[in-house]
Structure 1
Amino acid sequence: MTDNSESATRRAFVTAAGTAGVLGLAGCTSNPNSGGSGGSDGGSGGGSDQLSGTVDIAGSSTVFPLATAFAETFQQEHSEVNINVQSTGSGGGFANFFCPGETDFNNASRPIKEEEMQQCEDNGVEPVELTVATDALTVIVNNDADFLDSITVEELQTIWSAEAQPETWSDVNSDWPDEEIELYGPSDASGTYDYFIEAIIGEEGPGHRQDYSATEQDRTIMQGVQGSEFAMGYLGFAYYSQNSDSVKAVAIDDGDGPVEPSLETAKSGEYTPLARPLFTYPAKSSLAEEHVAEFARYFVENTTDQEVVANDVGYVPLTDDQQAEQMEKLETAIEEANA
């Protein structure tokens, strides 16, 4: 894949992203400032043709399609800026790339953890937390799983927690078939995994069962569930929405009746407890580089774009007030980075 994927629509790219897992250079391990020295200064308020350099991004597979969509359009306007986006999982991105100072941004489907903040601090990296969208984390089953259209939070907890570890569907609900449960989901490097524990299993609970097929590729989760009548998985709504004919989304009953995952139910707050904010974290030091700061601004400016965020990718855009709040936070960080 080339850095400027002009021939593909964003919608096609989201589908392909689950397999490819990367935009631009696959390694994504260059120094955060590696692109700065090669770019022209551009001066204050320089034109778009004067921006050049490299922006390296790792992190969440859930935020990946949103970041790649914005990277594509930004590179069309700034052809001398090379943006590399890698899908490593939120935790994998923080631990292996961002906090060691190897990347300029880390995408995350949950807030940065205390131990990750400490690792960043130890390496002189200061993350700037920016909310970029809302996701409806989606539980999926096979299209032929006629026995399961909705599930309670308690049943979901029973299936996925390390405590019960039921082997068959009937072990969870006597009305369900006496067939072995096959489970597919994100690995423990994923923010989706962390959020699922927090929302469904409970952070003080027994933990997430480990006898399941774990992957950082959402497409692999889709294919696993699609291939077995008695399989279940969970992933970000964007990947489900692009493949909704292949699998079935399960409505979640949090006590007030089943609610299906959608942009509308996530935005209204009805889809509990699996609606969640999504983030990107630029490193403050990287924001001293003009091309990095301009891409960060572009990212936040476009978080209200209904066409891209909702229609093309599949997340709830920010409101104007939310965007203004994030932009103010970003501009403060840019100013401090250049002080």
Structure 2
Amino acid sequence: MNREHNDEQEAVSPVIATILMVAITVVLAGVLYVWASSLAEGNTGDSLAFYQFDAEGGVGEVGTGTADNLARVTMTQGAEINWATLSLKISIDNGAPITCDNPDNEGGNCALIEFGDTTDSVWSIGDGVTIVESGQNLCDGICVVEITITDIREGRVIDESSTVVQSNGGSSSSGGSTGIACGPAQSISIAGSSTVLPLAEAWAEEFTEACSDVSITVEGGGSSAGAGRVCANSAKGTPVNIGDMSRNWKATETQDGIDSNGQLECGVGDTSITVTQLVVAVDGLSVVAKKGGNADTCINNLGGLTTAQLRWVFSAESDSDLNSAGLDMSSVVPNNDNDNTKEWSDLSSDCASVEIPIKYPDADSGTYDYFYDVILDYATEGFRSGTQSADDNVLVNALVADGNAIG
């Protein structure tokens, strides 16, 4: 995802074998959030779309019958979504909205018939539906069919499009769907997690290409900056409309936690602001080292690191304290020379006798909090001294420059 350091990242090697990769990237996967401020109400639900659909006129003639094909809608971008969570409505020539029945359901004045992959109950990329009249003549000549697709779990419109249906079938002027409801001309500001940053930049680029009257600025700064700035907490920077986070809210950042609608009231900054949580992705956390360096060679010889060894590498606690906390130090560092310096050779005599530098995000990062909470004992211990930054590029460069380091 990092656009600036592709060459450098090729030199960075994952160092954790099966045990830790499963623990970190699957079982312990962190969830990314985008927090939409009520200051930007109307900007997020309809503006930042993660789906794209193409709409076109239906196949066949449209006349006075009551079972004509009005339009076809195909998903071209987005994650698969279950039919049970979707609502598709049409409006004919600016008339009242009509809710179409989902595939395989009966009744109502219009129905959706799947084409593409019809073996499951989800709408996926490449799949589509034909919108068909169901017992009522909705269009008997040329008419404009406006289509709205809503995620009913969040009450969020994920697509608005229209197509012109002709009496001879097809469409006379269908730009199809942009997949984005642009809304009014405005400026939208986004800041926060460096993990979400590449995604936010890509979304902003695509959105502004489709909606030239909208200006979007995207910054990093870490999850704490995202949480603070969306709540207008001046200590974290200037207010933004959307805050990116790769962790959950801290108790100190909210008044009463998240309600059943995914909303919460800011606890710091402007406490009159209500923000809405939107889950946009799942983030896999990896621990890496420079390919071919002493760290990489050692860990490959070991077949990977256990979570206990990873804790020993990053923890500021002494070996005796870790032993008291329940770590079996004889298995964690079987070759420990007890010189109070953490070296790769402490893990195995086959590893280089060099100190282990660590590189990791700073305390404003959601990755920092997540790793701290899951690998270290958050209540009692901390990270030992190392290179810290909220900028992922800084950490990548630091790891590439030091073959002894891990981060």
Give the shorter-chain TM-score range. Answer: 0.5 to 0.7
Q: Deviations over 1:180-208 (max 9, x none)?
A: 11211111110000000111113234122
1:92 positional shift: 2.5
For residues 36-82 of structure 1, give each alpha carbon's deviation from its aligned partner in whole angstroms, at most 9, with x where no partner exists: 9xxxxxxx989957631011111100011111111111111111111
What corresponds to 2:314 in structure 1? 160
1:105 aligns with 2:238: no
Q: Counterparts in 2 of 1:176-187, with a 5 A limit?
A: 176-187=351-362
Contact kept? 1:159, 1:172, Cα under 8 Å: no
The 3 A distance-change label for structure 1 pair 49 and 86 is closer
Q: What TM-score comes out, normalization by structure 2 length? A: 0.45
Within the alignment, does 1:207 sit opposite 2:382 as a pair?
Answer: yes
Q: Secondary structure at the match of 1:228?
A: coil
Evaluate the alpha carbon distance shift between residue 161 and residue 130 of structure 1 in structure 2; reply closer, same or farther with a 3 A threshold. same
Residue 5 of structure 2 contacts residue 393 of structure 2 at CA under 8 Å; is this kept in 1?
no
Q: Deviation string for 1:216-252 (max 9, x for gaps)? A: 111111111111221111xxxxxxxxxxxxxxxxxxx
**Residues 1:75 and 1:92: Cα distance change in structure 2 (over 3 Å):** same
Look up the match of 1:77.
210
- Give the aligned partner of residue 174 of structure 2: none
1:220 maps to 394
1:232 alignment partner, SS class: coil
CA distance in 2, matches of 1:207, 1:11: 28
Q: Residue 89 of structure 1: CA displacement?
A: 0.3
Alpha-carbon distance in structure 1 between the residues aligned to 2:245 and 2:182: 31
Q: Would the alpha carbon gap of residues 188 and 172 (structure 1) be closer, same or farther in structure 2, given more than 3 Å must change?
A: farther
The unaligned stretches of length 5 or more in structure 2 are 10-37, 44-147, 149-159, 162-179, 234-238, 256-264, 319-339
Cα shift at 1:86: 0.7
Higher relative contact order (CA 8 A, sep 6+): 1
Q: Give the AA of the match of 2:310.
A: L
Change (3 A) 1:188 1:166: farther
- Name the counterpart of 1:337: none
Q: CA deviation at 1:167?
A: 3.0
Equivalent residues in 2 for 1:281-320, closer than 5 Å: none
Q: State the number of aligned residues.
A: 202
How far has the Cα of 1:212 moved from its partner?
0.5
C-alpha RMSD of the superposition: 3.2
Deviations 1:138-175 (A, max 9, x none): 10111113111311100100111121384322234554
Q: Name the structure 2 match of 1:151.
A: 305
For structure 1, which runs of at least 5 residues remain unmatched after alignment? 1-9, 19-30, 37-43, 234-339
Identity over aligned pairs, percent: 30
**Which runs of structure 2 are paired with 1:116-155 in the superposition (5 Å)?**
116-118=253-255, 120-122=266-268, 123=270, 124-144=272-292, 145-149=296-300, 150-155=304-309
Deviation larger for 149-158 or 120-129: 120-129
How far apart, in 2, do the equivalents of 1:50 and 1:60 lie? 26
TM-score, reference length from structure 1 = 0.53
Q: Which structure: larger Rg?
A: 2
Matches of 1:50 and 1:63, distance apart in 2: 24
| Kept after mapping to 1: 8 A contact 2:182/2:214 | no
